[in-house]
Amino acid sequence: MVLNPTIPKKLFNFKTVNVFQDSYVLESDYIPSSLVGRDEEINAVAEIFFPLFRNGKPGHAFIYGPPGSGKTVVIKHVLRQLYSEAGENINLKHFTVPCKKHNTTTKILSFLLREIGYSDSLPRSGVSCGYYYDLFFSYLKKQGYSITIIFDEIDFLKDDNVLYNFSRSGEFKELNERQFIHIIGVSNTGEFVNSLDPRVDSSMQRETIVFPPYNKEQLIDILNMRVSLAFYPDAVCEGTVELCAEESAKDEGDARRAIFLLQAAGNFAIKTECSKVQPGHVIMASQKVKEDISLQFVLNMTFHEKFVLLAMINTEKYLKKGKFIVTGDVYRIYHDMCRFAEEGPLSLAAISQKVAKFRMMGIINANVSSRGRGGLTSEIVFIGDPDILANAIYRDGAFVKFMTYNPDIRKICSVQVW
Ligand SMILES: Nc1ncnc2c1ncn2[C@@H]1O[C@H](COP(=O)(O)OP(=O)(O)OP(=O)(O)O)[C@@H](O)[C@H]1O
Ligand SMILES: [Mg+2]
């Protein structure tokens, strides 16, 4: 019997609607030809490299600012200009160390050895840091060029000895004459700078450059610069870019988030077979981003963390009396939920610890206030939408039963929990 070969259904069956002309322009590794609102920061970073043009060494620097404030793109922009303007006159290469991944001296030195082209095998254990330093300095000496090392997310470094040894490598005659190691540390907060060992700090003699968050107008300019390249003419409706900028300006002025929202809105337009990207698509995209973030937070939580968070959400839903919820009410609802689920309650201290963790994670804002004889209490406000968090918690089968939880508020309010 001969089987009729069936023609497979087309997998890449693109809808007739497409709004993107070149979606790479909205990707994170795209470097725009010019930058908006960062002239001062560009000049400050460029100044670090001025000494190179007088045969000197560039100055070490720490750069900090909130996520998406343009630190990486400004550094890349300045380096691109430096190589093109200085040409053959400088003998410099740069490397970026992601410190979240490479956070110890050994990991950093192994990573950098590979980056500068060392290809022999490296011992996995049993050798001291000194072994790696010797190997690194001698191999770099052979290469002959100087290096700028960008320590990204430098606050994840486990020890700052590597900064000390690199910044003093010239003085310790580890390298050739005029060869140097130049350090740029990048971080979201200035805390790392303050926590540096004074010995390291003084040996670096570094500059500090602070990047402020973008405001709505700057975010609009950043987005508009990409719109004409990324989208077909007239594919983005009036108000769409403004809404992306407004949403992101509320959220720490993060340009990455603004660009991502615009891209996600474009994808929603295609999904809904609409040839124009409208503000409504931004709202859908923004809701989806919030849900994804909440889901990510909640997925990584322990059972008890989810339990306490749900108690806070239920307090907001059933017991909120003013602008914020207070810890006493959270304990009341928590105890009632334990009774409902036949679970043994955690101690007061354990619950407070979890509330502090939610604050650190950016799920809530909590201010401690004195309530006379009631002692100290926390005034809690949810930063995002508690309903989205609740839905993420209900994805865990152990919490489905709480979907029908309906507390007797009068009874709960009369209970003294401590
Ligand atoms: N001034 C600007 N003009 C144009 N695009 C910008 C500007 N600032 C940032 N961007 C874009 O926004 C995105 C985020 O910028 P960048 O990666 O430089 O932020 P960052 O400060 O390094 O953030 P993080 O702290 O999370 O690493 C990138 O796609 C970048 O190209
Ligand atoms: Mg960055």
CATH of the domain at 156: 3.40.50.300
Higher pLDDT among residues 413 and 403, named by residue: 403
Indicate whether 58 and 195 sit together in one domain: yes
Tell me which amino acid residue 90 is.
Answer: I
How confident is residue 416, by pLDDT bands cut at 50, 70 and 90? low
Could you say which ligand is closest to the alpha carbon of residue 256?
1
Q: What is the pLDDT of residue 297?
A: 87
Is residue 158 in a domain?
Answer: yes
Indicate whether 307 and 378 sit together in one domain: yes
Q: What is the pLDDT of residue 191?
A: 82
**Collapsing DSSP states into helix, strand and coil, what is residue 64?**
strand
CA of 320 from ligand 2 middle (Å) equals 39
Q: What is the pLDDT of residue 252?
A: 81
Is residue 363 in a domain?
Answer: yes
How confident is residue 315, by pLDDT bands cut at 50, 70 and 90? very high
Is residue 237 in a domain?
Answer: yes
Distance CA 66, CA 163 (A): 23
Residue closest to 389 by CA, chosen among 402, 377, 407: 402
Distance CA 181, CA 162 (A): 11
Residue closest to 412 by CA, chosen among 317, 304, 306, 303: 317
pTM above 0.85, yes or no: no
Q: Which of 6-10, 128-132, 240-244, 395-399 has the lowest mean pLDDT?
A: 6-10
| 370 pLDDT above the threshold of 70 | no
Is residue 340 in a domain?
Answer: yes
39, 64, 73, best to mutate for ligand 1 pocket (most atoms within 8 Å of CB): 73
Indicate whether 289 and 370 sit together in one domain: no
CA of 72 from ligand 2 middle (Å) equals 4
Indicate whether 82 and 191 sit together in one domain: yes
- Out of 243, 271, 297, a domain closes at 297
CATH of the domain at 292: 1.10.8.60
Pairing state between β 61-64 and 92-98: unpaired
Residue numbers of the domain that contains 56: 38-210
- Out of 272, 297, 322, a domain closes at 297
Is residue 29 in a domain?
Answer: no
Mean pLDDT of 251-278: 93
- Out of 210, 230, 256, a domain closes at 210
Is residue 223 in a domain?
Answer: yes
- For the chain, what is the domain count? 3
Q: Which residues line ligand 1 (CB under 6 A)?
A: 28, 32, 35-38, 65, 67-73, 188, 222, 255-256, 259
Indicate whether 327 and 402 sit together in one domain: yes
Is residue 3 in a domain?
Answer: no
Is residue 146 in a domain?
Answer: yes
Indicate whether 118 and 201 sit together in one domain: yes
Indicate whether 175 and 289 sit together in one domain: no
Mean pLDDT of 183-207: 85
CATH of the domain at 351: 1.10.10.10
Residues ≥6 apart with Cβ < 8 Å to 223: 241, 244, 245, 258, 259, 262
How confident is residue 14, by pLDDT bands cut at 50, 70 and 90? low
Please, what's the largest Cα pairwise distance for the chain?
90
CA of 73 from ligand 2 middle (Å) equals 7
* Contact between residue 136 and residue 109 where contact means Cβ atoms under 8 Å apart: yes
Give the containing element (helix H, strand E) for 395. none
Indicate whether 62 and 74 sit together in one domain: yes
Indicate whether 54 and 160 sit together in one domain: yes
24, 33, 72, 221, best to mutate for ligand 1 pocket (most atoms within 8 Å of CB): 72
**Collapsing DSSP states into helix, strand and coil, what is residue 406?**
coil
| 376 pLDDT above the threshold of 70 | no
Q: Which atom of ligand 1 is nearest to the CA of 76?
A: 18
Q: What is the pLDDT of residue 411?
A: 84
> If you ran DSSP here, which 8-state letter would residue 119 be given?
-
* Contact between residue 178 and residue 124 where contact means Cβ atoms under 8 Å apart: no
Indicate whether 179 and 277 sit together in one domain: no
How much of the chain exceeds pLDDT 90, in percent?
A: 62
Indicate whether 333 and 385 sit together in one domain: yes
Q: Which atom of ligand 1 is nearest to the CA of 258?
A: 12
Indicate whether 141 and 227 sit together in one domain: no
CA of 55 from ligand 1 middle (Å) equals 31
pLDDT in tens, 4-13: 667 777 777 6
